[in-house]
Structure 1
């Protein structure tokens, strides 16, 4: 993996997801976000890092659209959001995003295992707290 850091968009999988969102027609973006969140939230098997990373990025987007939510300011984030635009998302995405993030940090997650192996799980989970806090409001 070329890029791997604790920010929601600071890894190759999340950056690819952000690029796909940027390239998608505006009307298709909510479906892509839903798919990324559901792929993690509804996964009962071992969750691979690419699915987990896309779900974190999608959850960060949902959180960014909430009042007081953290901004998407990563250079790897979707261009339409880093340029100051917004996206209309259904209210149900908030609960779905919470479930996805909870699944990502749970056992049976490659994302968790990779951060444990790097002895940085606390830092990685801590980076998710602004997202979780916004989703829990």
Structure 2
């Protein structure tokens, strides 16, 4: 996986995921986000880094639509607008993030081998905090 920084879209896999969203009809974009989250959640055993990176990017898109969410402004994020995503995706995004930081996970392992694991984990925690904001969280 080509990674150039700790941001949620600062790797080849997440940039490719953004391109997939841009190429998809608007009506299909939410289901693509949902599938990326569910694939990570439902993976038993070893979680491949590509699946985890897509799930983190998908979670960032869900978090961006939360009231306290930061918009995705990186050049590597989707260029086409996403529809208003279902608030029910927040719980899936939280679960996908939790899976991405739980062993056995290749992405977690790869970040653990660098001196940038702290900033990467902080970014994941910020997403999780946005998604779990009790003032704005919608239960499923």
Same fold (TM over 0.5): yes
Q: Which moved more, 1:94-103 or 1:127-136?
A: 127-136
Are the equivalent residues in 2 in contact too, given 1:39–1:51 (CA < 8 A)?
yes
Q: CA deviation at 1:117?
A: 1.2
Q: 1:112-131: per-residue Cα shift (whole Å, max 9, x none)? A: 00011113322211122221
Are the equivalent residues in 1 in contact too, given 2:13–2:54 (CA < 8 A)?
yes
Equivalence for 1:132: 128
Q: CA deviation at 1:98?
A: 0.1
Q: Are 1:8 and 2:4 matched, yes or no?
A: no
Query: How far apart, in 1, do the equivalents of 2:76 and 2:67 lie?
Result: 22
Query: How far apart, in 2, do the equivalents of 1:13 and 1:40 lie?
Result: 14
Q: CA deviation at 1:86?
A: 4.6
Q: CA deviation at 1:55?
A: 0.3
Query: How far apart, in 1, do the equivalents of 2:62 and 2:44 lie?
Result: 23
- Give the secondary-structure state (helix, strand or coil) at the position aligned to 2:100: helix
Equivalence for 1:105: 101
**Candidates 116, 121, 125, aligned match of 2:117:** 121
Q: 1:75-126: per-residue Cα shift (whole Å, max 9, x none)? A: 100002xxxx452112210000000000001110000000111133222111
Are the equivalent residues in 1 in contact too, given 2:26–2:82 (CA < 8 A)?
no
Q: Are 1:93 and 2:76 matched, yes or no?
A: no
- Give the secondary-structure state (helix, strand or coil) at the position aligned to 1:79: coil
> With structure 2 as the length reference, what TM-score do the two structures score?
0.90
Over the residues paired in the alignment, what is the CA RMSD in angstroms?
A: 1.2
Query: Could you list the runs of 4 or more consecutive aligned residues of structure 1 that deviate by over 6 angstroms after TM superposition?
Result: none
Q: Which moved more, 1:99-108 or 1:40-49?
A: 40-49
Q: In 2 relative to 1, CA 86–35 (structure 1 residues): closer, same or farther, beyond 3 Å?
A: closer
